[in-house]
Amino acid sequence: MEKLIIEKSNGARAVVFNGAKDPASFLDKKYLRKREPRLPQLSELDIVRHFTNLSRLNFCLDTHFYPLGSCTMKYNPKAYDAMCSLESFTSLHPLTPVENAQGTLEIIYKFEELLKEITGLSAWTLQPAAGAHGEFTGALIAKAYHAKDKNRTEIIVPDTAHGTNPATAAMCGFKVVNIKSNARGRVDLEELKKVLSPKTAMVMLTLPNTAGLFEYDILEISKLVHASGALLYMDGANLNALIGLVKPAAMGVDIMHINLHKTFAAPHGGGGPGAGGVGVREELKDLLPLGRVLFDGKKYLLEIKNKKSIGQVKSFYGNIAIIIRAYAYLRQFDGKTLGEIAKNAVLNANYIRVKLKNYFPAFFDEVCMHECVFTTPKDLPNLKALYVAKRLLDLGFHAPTIYFPLIVPQALMVEPTETESKQTLDAFTRAMKQIFEEAKKDISILEHAPHKTEIGVIDEVLAAREPNLKW
């Protein structure tokens, strides 16, 4: 446990700016702040210690196996951190004339070209700041595409979708139509047929879906969707399972987003910034957000006007620091090796699935893609996913995603990624087996887990009933 930095404040100074004059010599006093903000006052050494100590309270990818399902916690190559920190990239003001920003613009342009090749879609934007922001962009594009058909007010979302999908649809003014998946965790074609109508603007699918399964009926689904005049949206958060093997456009995808930080190995930074690319097929190209990077054969330019565009979705051109890393990552593969990412990711997930078969069953007992959703064993009804997650922390592993997808009771969603070794996966499965044995013997050790972390069982009810959100 670390004191709050404000509690350590002792009046010392860290960073000083010499030569500042009294602001009252330039501005009337009425504009000036009356009391100084309650910020820490400490020496630089004490600040360095504070944040270094805080950092040590975290589990992270550099220290722990981090099988958080749906988040693709793969290794973040160290070379890229240095690359995106090059001063020529970081010191560039966004209003710099394009002539002086050719390097950054070329990266955006070339990365979009590469994304076109690996997805088969015709055009990309890298403006959105995150995956969910990409979804928002995609849904706005669907709205603009259907502008002349005011009846297309619905977006169909399967029950396996990320929570962001229905929230996105609602933000864009669509009505959300939820459909149930079939017994094998896939879109039920009959259910889909029932709800597809001239009111459908778009169907949003996560591919592979959040149960970690491939929609084997995808070609039939896209046919049905297109026959009804709607668009097919692919939530590409799980692209790691298909990259270099399947082109989304070939599945009939009209619009998709990719979470660059997931598939393309950018660090997640404790929750962001991420970056979300959005790709579309030819017909939708002009609707992409304003500010695309263009190439006139000699130099890179920025699109300034486009009446058909949905407009800007944020200030300027995208999260450049993440885009540079993602571009660098993609350049380390060629057409043959790119597919190795997905193959190894899928192999690792299935390896865990099979190894845990007699302990924690996969909810859908069949080959999975890059992640596998487990549930607690039927003969241990008192064992909750939460206990497993917390006990794993004791045993030196970050927990999987729990209680998601919602269709799986006591869900434990494990995504190992391709960058983990057999030894790590074996250690993880051993830990899971230990938890299984503990649950059989004496569940109380699990109920009160974690025991070895600095903080024990947390009172979340108190946090919500009496919110304490600042010092």
Partner 1 sequence: MYNQEKCKFSKTHEWAFIEGDTAVCGISDHAQHEISDIVFVELPKIGAKVQAGKACAVIESVKSAADFYAPLSGEVTQVNENLNSNPALINQAPHGEGWIFKIKISNAKEEEKLLSFDAYKATL
Partner 2 sequence: MFNGNSKETASEMLREIGLKSVEELFKDVPSTLRTAKFNLPKALDEQDLIKHIKSLASKNKTLLNFAGAGIYEHFIPAAVNALSSRGEFLTAYTPYQAQASQGTLQAIYEYQSSICALFDMEVSNASHYDGATALAEAVYAACQIKGLNEVLISVGLNPQYKQVLKTYFKGTREIKFTEVSLDNGTLDLEDLKTKLQTPRSAFVLATPNFFGCLEEVLEISAIVHNANALLISLVNPISLGILETPGSYDSDFAVAEGQCLGNTMSFGGPGLGIFTCKKQYVRYMPGRLCGITKDDKGNRCFVLTLQAREQHIRRERAASNICSNEALCALNALIYLSLLGPKGLKEVASLNLEKAHNLAKQICEIEGFSLTYQKPFFNEFVINCPIPAKQIVKKLAKKDILAGYDLGQVDTSLKNNLLICATETKTEQDLANFVSCLREI
404 belongs to the binding site for partner 2 (CB under 8 A): yes
Which residue's CB is nearer to partner 1, number 95 or number 461? Answer: 461
Alpha carbon distance 225, 97 (integer Å):
44
Q: Which of 127, 368, 337, 329 is nearest to 241 (CA)?
A: 368
Kindly state the smallest distance separating residue 259's Cβ from partner 1, in Å. Answer: 24
Among 154, 235, 420, 438, binds partner 2 (CB under 8 A): 420
**293 contacts 112 by C-beta, under 8 angstroms:** yes
Among 5, 403, 424, 433, binds partner 1 (CB under 8 A): 403
73 belongs to the binding site for partner 2 (CB under 8 A): yes
DSSP symbol at 159? T
Instruction: Specify which residues 402 forms β-bridges with.
Output: 412
Which residue's CB is nearer to partner 1, number 166 or number 416? Answer: 166
Identity of the residue numbered 392: L
- Return phi, psi of residue 296, to 5°: -100, 15
- The number of CA neighbours under 13 Å toward the Cβ of 379 is 8
Which residue's CB is nearer to partner 1, number 250 or number 463? Answer: 463
Of 247-306, binders to partner 2 (CB under 8 A) are 247, 250-251, 265, 267-275, 289-290
Of 306-335, binders to partner 2 (CB under 8 A) are 310-322, 324, 328, 330-335
Q: Are strands 200-206 and 372-374 parallel, antiparallel or unpaired?
A: unpaired
151 belongs to the binding site for partner 2 (CB under 8 A): no
DSSP symbol at 8? H
455 belongs to the binding site for partner 1 (CB under 8 A): no
For 186-208, b where at least 16 C-beta lie within 10 A, e where not — what string?
bbbeebbeeebeebbbbbbbbbb
Per CB under 8 A, the segment of 94-102, 188-196, 371-379, 430-438 that binds partner 2 is 94-102
Alpha carbon distance 435, 451 (integer Å):
14
86 belongs to the binding site for partner 2 (CB under 8 A): yes
Which residue's CB is nearer to partner 2, number 379 or number 455? Answer: 455
Among 460, 469, 470, 471, binds partner 1 (CB under 8 A): 460
Among 21, 148, 150, 465, binds partner 1 (CB under 8 A): 465
Query: In which region does residue 327 sit, left (phi positive, over 0), alpha (psi from -120 to 50) or beta (all else)?
Result: alpha
Contacts of 37 (CB under 8 A, 6+ apart): none
Per CB under 8 A, the segment of 110-118, 196-204, 377-385, 436-444 that binds partner 2 is 110-118
469 belongs to the binding site for partner 1 (CB under 8 A): no
3-class DSSP state of 459: coil
Among 224, 225, 246, 255, binds partner 2 (CB under 8 A): 246
409 belongs to the binding site for partner 2 (CB under 8 A): no
Residue with tokens 């670390």: 2
Where do runs of H (alpha helix) occur along 299-421?
Answer: 320-330, 338-355, 385-394
Q: Is the four-CA dihedral 256, 262, 265, 271 of positive or negative sign?
A: positive
Alpha carbon distance 268, 271 (integer Å):
6
Kindly state the smallest distance separating residue 373's Cβ from partner 1, in Å. Answer: 18
Kindly state the smallest distance separating residue 393's Cβ from partner 1, in Å. Answer: 18
- Return phi, psi of residue 424, to 5°: -65, -45
Which residue's CB is nearer to partner 1, number 189 or number 463? Answer: 463
Which residue's CB is nearer to partner 2, number 267 or number 381? Answer: 267
Among 153, 188, 197, 245, binds partner 2 (CB under 8 A): 245
Of 180-209, binders to partner 2 (CB under 8 A) are none
Per CB under 8 A, the segment of 172-180, 192-200, 223-231, 431-439 that binds partner 2 is 172-180
Structure tokens at 263: 């598939």
- Which of partner 1, partner 2, none has residue 103 at its interface (CB below 5 to 8 Å by kind)? partner 2
Structure tokens at 99: 């002539």
Kindly state the smallest distance separating residue 240's Cβ from partner 2, in Å. Answer: 12
Structure tokens at 76: 């973040």
Which residue's CB is nearer to partner 1, number 342 or number 385? Answer: 385
- Which of partner 1, partner 2, none has residue 141 at its interface (CB below 5 to 8 Å by kind)? none
461 belongs to the binding site for partner 1 (CB under 8 A): yes
Kindly state the smallest distance separating residue 163's Cβ from partner 1, in Å. Answer: 11
Among 67, 69, 107, 438, binds partner 2 (CB under 8 A): 107
Alpha carbon distance 13, 47 (integer Å):
10
Which residue's CB is nearer to partner 2, number 228 or number 348? Answer: 348
Instruction: Specify which residues 279 forms β-bridges with.
Output: 124, 256
Kindly state the smallest distance separating residue 354's Cβ from partner 2, in Å. Answer: 4
167 belongs to the binding site for partner 1 (CB under 8 A): no
Alpha carbon distance 307, 284 (integer Å):
13
> Which residues here bind partner 1, judged by CB under 8 A?
403, 460-461, 463-465
